[in-house]
A and B are shown apart, each in its own frame.
Chain A
Amino acid sequence: MLSSYEKIEQDPNYQELVRRRSSLGWTLSLIMLIIYFGFILLVAYAPKFLGTPLGTGVMTIGIPIGLFVIVSAFLLTGIYVSKANSKYDPLIREIVGGNRS
């Protein structure tokens, strides 16, 4: 007699959920870390690069780069949430439904 969680662990839906969710979660985390620490390393080692003027005015390349980091945080979160809503939640419902005893 298997306990309920052992039964779920063997459910292919569950295994798929864990595999897909962890790979997406850790990949997106890694992308966010690379973007953010890339920015911090630019600030620390190449402040003059961020001060490069864009065109003829006073606007520097650092402003769109900073805005990009802010917007990317929002977009990455959005990617995760839409994936989770459309793919993971139905899987979870199947797992919960299929293992109710």
Chain B
Amino acid sequence: MRKISWLLATLLICFPTLALSAGAIDGGSKQAVNWAAIGMFIGFVSLTLVITYWASKRTVSAADFYSAGGGITAGQNGLAIAGDYMSAASFLGISGLVYTSGYDGLIYSVGWLVGWPIVTFLIAEQLRNLGKFTFADVASFRLGQPRIRILAACGSLVTVAFYLIAQRVGAGKLIQLLFGLDYWIAVILVGGLMMIYVTFGGMKATTWVQIIKAVLLLFGATFMAGAVLYKYGFSPEALFAKATEVHPKGIAIMEPGSLISNPLSAISLGLALMFGTAGLPHILMRFFTVKDAQAARKSVFYATGFIGYFYILTFIIGFGAITLVSTDLAFLDAGILEKTKSGIAAIKGGSNMAAIHLADAVGGNLFLGFISAVAFATILAVVSGLALAGASSISHDIYAMVIKGGNANEQDEVRVSKIATLFLGVLAIILGIIFENQNVAFMVGLAFAIAASCNFPVLVMSIFWKGLTTRGALIGGFLGLTSAVVGVILSPAVWEVTLGFAKGSAPVRLDNPALFSMSLAFVGIWLFSILDRSARATVDRDGFDAQFVRSQTGIGAAGATAH
């Protein structure tokens, strides 16, 4: 009963705020109020709150809260994983990148996709067979519990924190543009809804919010790409021909451009994108929501299909925007157009708005509203998954396993994770407001670099290498973590752009440190493991065979709870 009144109260608080602030638009940087968008967004939020209420009735045990009781099917999980990955950053960011630089956008899409096969071949089944709620369960399976837990929890929390801030700031800006809301209202709205989904509905609600959004986004993107191709008689050649004709870079948009300047930087970025995927805690968590290893493997296959299809669509959408948005004065800022004479540079709201304007160009106001609402839904769904991953790390890894030494009362553990969610939600709102005018684009790269340099090496070595010891994992993991953070701070993106030092003065010339931070982690893990002669090291190595049998066969794995 208390839960219902909570939800109702939030509904009543949220919606008049939307309407009121929408009435008080002062023009300028904000978009005119889009009632179709707000209507559809309210529809989405109402539906997800109903689902959250339904899920809250079925979320009793810790397994329900962290992993939806293992009751998600492979198809559902495939959509949810795809949903986690198809964030607003990748939908709007990649189509915007294609809009400004053409082919370069495809390089990023490819990098973001190719991590998935590796996850399927080497990680998905083993993870499901060994773990229960978090990837730290797997990393610490046979190693010294408290120390490896703390390392894995640090890796998770740092990754989640940077990813969350990046999404949150991007979200605030986007909502400001889409709905004409003030930035702080947008940030609080996203934070508030996120806390409701996660604290009441746990993994069940978070997964279903993600699934609904993934279906809506795939539908919207398919319609948009279809409409673009329809305009060109379903001939990609005709679309590309028109794009090269109107784009100021001309034919150069059909080949790799200036985005990737030096070969080492390209390889380093490639490593971060590929192996970072295999170390993102909010993605790895999803393998515990299905009933067994077979479902885990199938779900990555579905997810790879959805994500690959989606990236092909964003490529078409980006080119469609070049031909239909950059040539239409309605979408361009007259002042910038006067100065630069380029429709690409003059796009209202910046290149991230390319897909949004294209929705207006091909589907009118109603479809614009739909795509705006889907973009907002995307942000909500992704930040909820991140918050749940962060909260699980705090409650399951730190509270239950480290502080309580594995003897926590289940109800206490769930309560701690709910408190942790509220704490993370409030923290994310405060940080979102503090970072409002900072350039946070580097934070996504940093999150991937840390995931690739700390979480992934520790995880994969613990699954496959008998010689791994607690000391080796600990030293190697922290080397990877710190070198990734230092490498990002000393890179041109942060040193020159964010910190404002002179151009060309950055001590590290790589945009992403993964090449050396990942190598450092693997070498560190290997070296300090083989040098380790401690008593603990013998226990670690002796534990491998039993662990390997379980990882291969699933004997003894955490099962699905019956419902």
Interface residues of A (CB under 8 A from B): 3-6, 8-9, 14, 17-18, 21, 24-26, 28-29, 32, 35-37, 39-41, 43-45, 47-48, 50-51, 57-60, 62-63, 66-67, 69-71, 73-74, 76-78, 80-81, 84-85, 89, 92, 95-96, 99
Contacts and interface: CB of A to CB of B under 8 A. Distances in A.
A63 B254 contact: yes
Nearest to B547: A5
Nearest to A52: B255
B76 interface: no
Given A41-B263, A63-B254, A71-B308, A96 B114 contact: no
Contact of B308 (A17, A37, A57, A74): A74
Given A25-B121, A59-B237, A66-B110, A50 B256 contact: yes
25 contacts: A5-B546, A9-B549, A14-B552, A21-B552, A26-B122, A28-B121, A40-B107, A41-B263, A41-B267, A45-B263, A48-B255, A51-B252, A57-B240, A58-B237, A58-B240, A59-B237, A60-B254, A66-B110, A67-B312, A73-B304, A77-B116, A81-B297, A81-B301, A89-B294, A99-B555
A67 B107 CA distance: 10
Contacts of B541: none
A77 B301 contact: yes
A29 B115 CA distance: 10
Contact of A50 (B118, B236, B255): B255
B244 interface: yes
A29 B266 CA distance: 20
Given A51-B254, A62-B256, A17 B552 contact: yes
B270 interface: yes
Contacts of A71: 308
A77 B120 contact: yes
Nearest to A51: B255
A97 B305 CA distance: 34
B552 A44 contact: no
A92 B312 contact: no
A43 B266 contact: yes
A8 B549 contact: yes
A81 B549 CA distance: 20
B297 A73 contact: no
Contacts of A48: 255
Nearest to B264: A44
Given A57-B240, A73-B304, A40 B109 contact: no
Nearest to B311: A70
Contacts of B116: 73, 77
Given A5-B549, A81-B298, A44 B260 contact: yes
Given A14-B553, A62-B254, A77-B301, A25 B270 contact: no
Contacts of B125: 84
Interface in B199-250: 236-237, 240-241, 244
B274 interface: yes
Nearest to B306: A74
B545 interface: yes
Given A92-B553, A96-B553, A81 B120 contact: yes
A35 B262 CA distance: 20
B554 A92 contact: yes
Task: List the 4 closest pairs (A to B, CB-CB), nearest first.
Answer: A51-B255, A44-B263, A47-B256, A25-B121
Given A29-B118, A45-B263, A70 B312 contact: yes
A50 B259 CA distance: 15
B442 interface: no
Contacts of A37: 267, 270
B428 to A, nearest CB: 32
Given A60-B254, A73-B304, A84 B118 contact: no
B379 interface: no
Interface residues of B, number: 51
B41 to A, nearest CB: 31
B305 A74 contact: yes
B304 A77 contact: yes
A28 B274 CA distance: 15
Contacts of B300: 77
Given A66-B107, A74-B304, 19 more contacts: A5-B545, A25-B121, A32-B114, A40-B111, A40-B266, A44-B260, A44-B263, A48-B255, A51-B251, A58-B241, A60-B103, A62-B254, A73-B114, A73-B117, A74-B305, A74-B308, A76-B117, A77-B300, A80-B120
B549 A80 contact: no
A64 B447 CA distance: 31
B42 interface: no
A85 B270 CA distance: 31
A37 B107 CA distance: 11
A73 B306 CA distance: 12
A32 to B, nearest CB: 5
Nearest to B294: A89
Contacts of A58: 237, 240-241, 244, 251, 254
B283 interface: no
A69 B256 CA distance: 15
Contact of A77 (B103, B110, B117, B256): B117
Interface in B265-286: 266-267, 270, 274
Contacts of A99: 555
B475 to A, nearest CB: 26
Nearest to B105: A66
A40 B106 CA distance: 11
Contacts of B546: 3, 5
B512 to A, nearest CB: 12
A1 B50 CA distance: 56
B301 to A, nearest CB: 5
Most A CB within 10 A of own CB, among B111, B114, B270: B114
Contacts of A35: 114
Contact of B113 (A4, A73, A78): A73
Contacts of A63: 103, 106, 236, 240, 254
Most A CB within 10 A of own CB, among B117, B251, B266, B294: B117
